[in-house]
Amino acid sequence: MEVNVVEHDFRVGGKWQYTMKMPDGNEFVTEGVYKVIIEFEKIFSSADFRPMTEGVEIQALFEEDGDNTNFTFNVVHATEEYRRQQEDLGFMSGWGSVFDNLEDVVSNFEG
């Protein structure tokens, strides 16, 4: 899907919003507010992925490991029940495809 950046204010308290037109013509809206940004260490943000997921926190953690960077990504749901519901709807496979694509992009830069 093509991504349209509506807003991206990369600072603590800054808002971000992207939209994507789905194959069925509906619009998928993702948005949140940056809560924590520590350069080379971590980025935390609230996140809503409407119409499917709302009220989660996404966490990107970076750890130096010699010439490499270890990357950990967490999605924190408000309750265990909500997490299970999201997994049943395919939440994990959706994020899996994001990171598969990221791996392809990064490998192209390695030359």
Where are the domains positioned within the chain?
3-78
Alpha carbons 111 and 107: distance in angstroms, whole number: 7
Judge whether residue 28 has pLDDT over 90. no
Q: What is the pTM of this model?
A: 0.81
Q: What is the mean pLDDT of residues 51-65?
A: 91
pLDDT band for 93, please (50, 70, 90 cuts): low
Contact criterion met (CB below 8 Å) for 4 and 20: yes
What pLDDT score does 110 carry? 62
Confidence grade of residue 35 (pLDDT, cut at 50, 70, 90): very high
Q: Which residue has the higher pLDDT, 21 or 100?
A: 21
Q: What is the mean pLDDT of residues 72-98?
A: 81
**pLDDT of 5 strictly over 90:** yes
**Exposed e or buried b for every residue in 64-93, given b needs 16+ CB within 10 A?**
eeeeeeeeeeebebeeeeeeeebeeeebee
Share of the chain above pLDDT 70, in %: 93
What pLDDT, on a 0 to 100 scale, did the predictor assign at position 51?
75
User: Tokens standing for 67?
Assistant: 């010439």
Q: Which residues contact 13 (CB under 8 A, 6 or more apart)?
A: 33, 34
- Domain made up of 3-78: CATH architecture: 2-Layer Sandwich (3.30)
Task: Give the residue among 43, 44, 51 at the shortest CA–CA distance from 86.
Answer: 51
